Amino acid sequence: MIRISHLSKVYPGGVTALRDISLEVRPGEVISVIGPSGCGKSTLVRCIEGLEAPSAGTIETGSSRLGMVFQQFNVFPHLSVLDNVTLGPVKLRGIPREEAEQRGMELLRTVGLAEKARRMPDSLSGGQKQRVGIARCLSMDPDVLLFDEPTSALDQTMKTEVFGVISELAKQGMTMVIVTHELEFARKVSTRVLFMHDGEICEEGTPEQVFDHPQKTLTQIFIRNRRSLIFQVDSREYDLYKFNADIEWFCQRNHLGKKYFTLELITEELLTHFLPFSGPIHFRIYLNDEKKLAMEIEQESCSSPIVDSPEADEISLMILQGLCASIRERQEGASRFLDIVVNDVYNQD
Amino acid sequence: MGRRAFRLLGCLLLLLLVVSCASEKRREIRACSDLEHGNVGVLTGRSNDRAVRALFPDAELYYFEDLVSMCMSLQSGHIDAFACMETGVDGLLARNPGFRVLEGVPEILDTAAVAFREDNLLLAGQFNEFLRGILADGTMDAIRANWLAADAPGVHYHPHAKEGTPLSVGIEAGQTFFTVIREGEGAGLEPEMMLRFGDYLGRPVRFVEMTNPGMIPALFSGKVDALVSAIAPTRSRAGRVLFSTPYDISPVCLVVAGAAPPQVRKSAWSSLKENFHESLIADNRFELILEGLKNTLLITFLSVIFGFLLGCGLCWMKRRGPRWAEAFSHGYCEIVEGIPIVVLLLFMFYVVFATSPLTAIVVAVITYSLHFAAGAAECLERSIESVDKGQWEAGKALGFSRFGTFRYVIAPQAVRQFLPLFKGKAVGLIENTSIVGFIAIEDMTKVTDIIRSQTYDSLVPLVVVGVIYFLIARLISVGLDKLGDHLNFKVK
C-alpha cells in the first residue's frame, strides 16, 4: 500500500530528521512508531502525508488515499462538528449536502459524537475534538490513517476515549500508522512496532518482540526507562513537590492507580530518617519481572548500613517495614544500595 | 444605557467647546503704534508680508492661506490686524461691518501680476499687449467697478471665444479680493480679465481651481498656462517664472476690527439661522456640497476597492511570491506607509502624471489606491497569520489544494481578524481624502473652503461637512461590523 525506500529528510537548519528509511505498509497492518522525542517519528508520518517534502528517497502510495490525525486536532473552529465532517465530501467530491450529512452523522455515531453534531468545536473537550478529527479523516474514505501523536495533548480519560475509537478502527481492519508515546496502547493495538532512534528505524517486530524481548541495547534502555522513574536527590533541600509529581505521573502512565501514595510515603520516610546524604542519592522506581512495584536507591559515598543502622528510629523502621514487602541492602564500591519491593497490601486502590 | 449617556455628554461638551471658541474676544487697535508688538496676519504668496515686516519689525506675523480664514481670525481676536491690498478693500469692509482700515499707515505699494512659464514669452507678450489696451481704454476701470466697489454689481462676463485650444488658468477662489466663486463659476476681477484675454486671443478659457502650494508646480508641469492669484512679482520668483506687467498696483493697507456696530449684534440663534441659510440654501450652495460629497465618495470607494485588490496582490507576493517579489512588496509597503499622503499626492500629480491627460480625480484614485494597498496588504497578512498553521495542514491532509484550503478553511477564520483592522484603514482613508483639494479636486473639504470664501462664515459649513464625514465613517464602520456579525462563528 505504501512503499518507502531510502527516505531521508534534512531540515533547512541542517538538522537531520530521517536517515535512509525503508518501510512497507501492507493492507490491514497497524504499525506503531515509538521512540524518544526528536527521533524523527513525527517527520516520518508528515513525509508520508506529504506535509514535508523528502530530501531524498521515494514514497509510493499508489492509488491509496491517506488521512491524517494531528496532535493538536486541527479541527476547523469556524464550522460545526457536522460541517467539519461534511466539508471534504461536499467541496472535494461533489457529494450532495444531504447525502454527505447522512454519512457524516454515521461517522459521528461511530466516534460517539452524534449528539454533538450541531455544536461548535470550541465547546468540546480535547478528546471530543480529536474524535471529530478522526471522523473528519474517515469522511474522505481513506485507505490508510496516519496518526501523529493523537493523544499527547490529552489527559488520561480523554486518551482512553480516543484509544477506544482507534482500537475499534483496528478491529474493523483499517490500515494505520500511529506515532505514539503510549507504549501500553501500542502493545494492545499494533500488529507491528517500529522503534526509531536518531532518524533511523532501530528495531522492528511484533509488540511482544519489541516490548518484551528487545534485541538492541538502545531499545532495551528506552523500554526500561519508559517503565521506570529516575530521580536524583543532591541535598536535603531537594524539590519534594517535583519528586511527588513525577511519582504520580509515573503511576498514572503505568496504570498503577493510587499506588503513588505508598511510594511517596516510602521515599519521604527514607529521605527524612534514614539516608545520610553523604553524596548524591539516585532513586529508580520500576516494575520488576514479577510486575511488582520496586525501588532501587543508591547512596553515593556511604559504606555503613542505612536501614540496619543501630541509630535508626524504631518507629520509623516499623513504618518502613510495614510499607515494604522486602528491603535488602548491599555495598557496591563506594555506594550503598537499597533494593525495595513495595508491599502489595498497600498496592490496593 | 450608561454608555449612551456618556456618548451624548461627550458630543455636548464638544459642541460647547466649539461655541465658546467661536465667541469673540479682541483688542482694540486705534493707531499704528498699537501694532508694534501685535499679531498681524498676511497672505502667503503675496509680498505684503515684507511691507508689514518693514513697518512693524517686532510684530508677530501669521501666514494665512486665504482671506476668509484671515477675516475669521481677526473677528475672533486671534490676530489684531491683517494686511491686504487697498484695491477691493471697500467690498470687504462692506461685508464685515466691524472692520475698518487703520489710518496713518506709511504707504508701501503692492503689485499683482500674472505668472507664466519661463519659456512662454509669446503668451506673456500677448498678455502685456492686451493689458496695455484695457488699461488705456477704461475697460480695466469698468472691471474694477463691476467687482470691487462697496456696492459692486458683480455681473458675469460671457466670453465669445468657444473654439480653439483652451487657455488653462490657475486660480484660487477666496484667496484674495480678485477671485471668488459664484454658482460654480469663477467670478471676480481676475476671472473676468482672463476671460477677456481669452477673447482677445480667440481661445476659450478653462479655470483650474487650486490651492497655493500646488500652483507653481502646476505651472511648471504644464497643467496650467497661467496663474492669476494676486501674485506679487518678487525678484526671487522672477527667476523661475515669467511675470506680466502688473494689472494692479495699490498701497498695502491694514484692516483692524473695531467694536461691532450695535445693529449687527443679533441673537446667536438668529445669526446662526442666517448663517445656515447663507451657507447652504442661498445660491443653492448645498449643491456644491453634494458635488463635493460625490467626489469624496467616488475617490474613497474606488480607492478602497482598487486598493484592496492591489493589497491582495501585495499580500500574495509577501507570502508566496518569489524572493524578489517578496522583497519588492515589503519595500513598497514600508516606503508608501512612511510618506505623508499629501506628499505622495502632490508627487503623483505634479511629477509622475504631470504630462499625462488623466484627470485629477483619476490621479487621486490611483494615489489613494496605491496608498491603501499597503495598508490592506498589512491587514490581510496579519489576519492570515493569525490563523493557526495546523489549519493549513489539516486542509491539505483532507485533500484541498492550497487555494481550496485558503477558500474554505483559512479565509473564513481570518476574516474575523481582518474586518476590524480593515475598518480602521478604510475610515482613515475617508479622512485622508480631505486633502485632494491640493490637486484642484472639489471634494467636500475644498467645497467648504469655497463656501467660506463666499459667505465669510466658517462655523456652519465646517460643522455640516464634519457631520457628513462622521456619518460616512460610521456607515462604513457599522457596515463592516454587520458584515463581520454575518460571517461570525455561529457559536452555540
Q: Are residues B226 and B302 in the same domain?
A: no
**Rounded CA separation A204/A219 (Å):** 10
**Rounded CA separation B229/B43 (Å):** 11
A318: closest CA of chain B, how far (Å): 56
Residues of chain A contacting B413 with CB distance shorter than 8 Å: 76-78
Q: Are residues B292 and B246 in the same domain?
A: no
B175 pLDDT more than 70? no
For A79, name the nearest residue in chain B, comparing CA atoms only.
B489
pLDDT bin (cut points 50, 70, 90) of residue B14 is: confident
Mutation target to probe the B interface, by most B beta carbons within 10 A, among A72, A76, A177 is A76
Range from A152-161, A208-217, B327-336 carrying the lowest mean pLDDT: A152-161
CB-closest option in B388, B393, B489 to A120: B489
CB-closest option in B398, B408, B492 to A118: B492
DSSP category for residue A197: E
In a domain, B292, yes or no: yes
Residues of chain B contacting A123 with CB distance shorter than 8 Å: 491-492
- pLDDT recorded at residue B87: 76
Q: Are residues B312 and B386 in the same domain?
A: yes
Higher pLDDT, residue B25 or A202: A202
Q: Which of B446, B74, B463, B431 is nearest to B279 (CA)?
A: B463
The answer to whether A7 touches A47, Cβ cutoff 8 Å, is yes
For residue B212, the domain's CATH number is: 3.40.190.10
The mean of the pLDDT values for chain B is: 83
For residue A246, the domain's CATH number is: 3.30.565.10
Count of CB atoms situated within 10 Å of the CB of A96: 10
Q: Are residues A260 and A180 in the same domain?
A: no
CB contact under 8 A, A92 and B404: yes
User: Would you call A152 an interface residue with chain B, using a CB distance cutoff of 8 Å?
Assistant: no
Q: Are residues B120 and B187 in the same domain?
A: yes
CB contact under 8 A, B390 and A74: yes
Q: Are residues A210 and A191 in the same domain?
A: yes
pLDDT in tens, A54-82: 999 999 988 889 999 999 999 999 999 99
Q: Are residues A211 and A237 in the same domain?
A: no
In a domain, B266, yes or no: no
Count of CB atoms situated within 10 Å of the CB of B8: 10
Q: Are residues A271 and A315 in the same domain?
A: yes
The mean of the pLDDT values for chain A is: 90
Tell me how many domains chain B contains.
2
Q: Which of A156, A149, A161, A154 is nearest to A32 (CA)?
A: A149
Q: Are residues B372 and B479 in the same domain?
A: yes
Domain of residue B399, residue span: 286-491
**Coil/strand/helix, residue B462:** helix
Q: Are residues A210 and A165 in the same domain?
A: yes
For B489, name the nearest residue in chain A, comparing CA atoms only.
A78
Highest-confidence segment of A249-258, A310-319, B388-397: B388-397
Residues of chain B contacting A119 with CB distance shorter than 8 Å: 492
The answer to whether A262 touches A342, Cβ cutoff 8 Å, is yes
Q: Are residues A232 and A128 in the same domain?
A: no
Tell me how many domains chain A contains.
2
CB contact under 8 A, B393 and A70: yes
Domain boundary among B204, B222, B250: B250
The answer to whether B250 touches B408, Cβ cutoff 8 Å, is no
Residues of chain A contacting B389 with CB distance shorter than 8 Å: none
CB-closest option in A78, A119, A137 to B413: A78
CB contact under 8 A, A123 and B491: yes
CB contact under 8 A, B396 and A51: yes
- pLDDT recorded at residue A249: 83
Residues of chain A contacting B397 with CB distance shorter than 8 Å: 49, 51, 66-68, 70, 137
Q: Are residues A251 and A315 in the same domain?
A: yes
Q: Which three cell numbers stand for residue B39?
A: 499679531
pLDDT bin (cut points 50, 70, 90) of residue B259 is: low
- pLDDT recorded at residue B184: 53
Q: Are residues A219 and A322 in the same domain?
A: no
For A117, name the nearest residue in chain B, comparing CA atoms only.
B492
Q: Which three cell numbers stand for residue B38?
A: 501685535
Q: Which of B447, B479, B488, B487 is nearest to B301 (CA)?
A: B479
Beta bridge partners of B84: B253
Percent of chain A with pLDDT over 90: 59
In a domain, B70, yes or no: no
Size of interface A-B (CB pairs under 8 A): 62
The answer to whether B346 touches B286, Cβ cutoff 8 Å, is no
- pLDDT recorded at residue B149: 72
Residue A141 is which amino acid?
Answer: D
Q: Are residues A145 and A30 in the same domain?
A: yes
CB contact under 8 A, A50 and B396: yes
Higher pLDDT, residue B61 or B293: B293
In a domain, B61, yes or no: no
- pLDDT recorded at residue B182: 57
In a domain, B159, yes or no: yes
Q: Which of B298, B420, B272, B423 is nearest to B368 (CA)?
A: B298
Q: Are residues A197 and A233 in the same domain?
A: no
**Rounded CA separation B289/A290 (Å):** 94
The answer to whether B255 touches B102, Cβ cutoff 8 Å, is yes
In a domain, B161, yes or no: yes
For B413, name the nearest residue in chain A, comparing CA atoms only.
A78
CB-closest option in A49, A91, A122 to B397: A49
Residues of chain A contacting B408 with CB distance shorter than 8 Å: 87, 91
CB-closest option in B388, B390, B399 to A88: B399
Q: Would you call B62 exposed, middle or buried from its count of C-beta atoms within 10 A (0-12, 13-18, 19+)?
A: middle
CB-closest option in B400, B489, B492 to A92: B400
CB contact under 8 A, B492 and A88: no
**Coil/strand/helix, residue B294:** helix
- Average pLDDT (B344-358) is 85
pLDDT bin (cut points 50, 70, 90) of residue B253 is: confident
Q: Are residues B298 and B212 in the same domain?
A: no
In a domain, B48, yes or no: no
- Average pLDDT (B57-66) is 82
Q: Are residues A189 and A293 in the same domain?
A: no
User: Would you call A78 an interface residue with chain B, using a CB distance cutoff of 8 Å?
Assistant: yes
pLDDT bin (cut points 50, 70, 90) of residue B266 is: low
Q: Are residues A199 and A83 in the same domain?
A: yes
B349 pLDDT more than 60? yes
- For A:101-140, CB contacts with B below 8 A are 118-120, 122-123, 133, 136-137, 140
Torsions phi, psi for A255 (to 5 deg): 55, 45
Residues of chain A contacting B392 with CB distance shorter than 8 Å: none
DSSP A77-105: TTS-HHHHHHHHHHHHH---HHHHHHHHH
B311: closest CA of chain A, how far (Å): 25
Domain boundary among A168, A201, A223: A223
CB-closest option in A74, A133, A136 to B391: A74
**Coil/strand/helix, residue B388:** coil
Beta bridge partners of B185: B182
Q: Which of A307, A309, A337 is nearest to A319 (CA)?
A: A307
Count of CB atoms situated within 10 Å of the CB of B153: 8
ipTM computed for the complex? 0.80
A120: closest CA of chain B, how far (Å): 6
**Rounded CA separation B333/B335 (Å):** 6
CB-closest option in B398, B404, B413 to A77: B413
Place of cell 485632494: B436
- Average pLDDT (A40-56) is 93
The answer to whether A214 touches A223, Cβ cutoff 8 Å, is yes
Distances (CA, A) of B119 to A302, A345, B124, B185, B220: 106, 112, 9, 29, 10
CB-closest option in A50, A91, A120 to B408: A91
Q: Are residues B119 and B235 in the same domain?
A: yes
**Rounded CA separation B249/B47 (Å):** 12
CB contact under 8 A, A92 and B409: no
Place of cell 499679531: B39
Distances (CA, A) of B346 to A80, B298, B435: 52, 19, 10
In a domain, B184, yes or no: yes
B339: closest CA of chain A, how far (Å): 37
Domain of residue A311, residue span: 227-346
For residue A138, the domain's CATH number is: 3.40.50.300
SS3 content of chain A, % helix, strand, coil (to 5): 40, 25, 35
For residue B328, the domain's CATH number is: 1.10.3720.10
- Average pLDDT (A231-247) is 89
Count of CB atoms situated within 10 Å of the CB of B324: 9
Strands of A335-342's sheet in order across? A228-233, A281-287, A293-299, A335-342, A324-332
Domain boundary among B198, B231, B250: B250
Strand A335-342 vs strand B39-43: parallel, antiparallel, or unpaired?
unpaired
Q: Are residues B228 and B318 in the same domain?
A: no
CB contact under 8 A, A91 and B393: no
- pLDDT recorded at residue B250: 83
B376: closest CA of chain A, how far (Å): 23
- Average pLDDT (A147-158) is 88
Strand A281-287 vs strand A293-299: parallel, antiparallel, or unpaired?
antiparallel
CB-closest option in A76, A92, A119 to B399: A92
Dihedral (C-alpha) B435, B439, B441, B443: value to the nearest 10 degrees?
A: 0
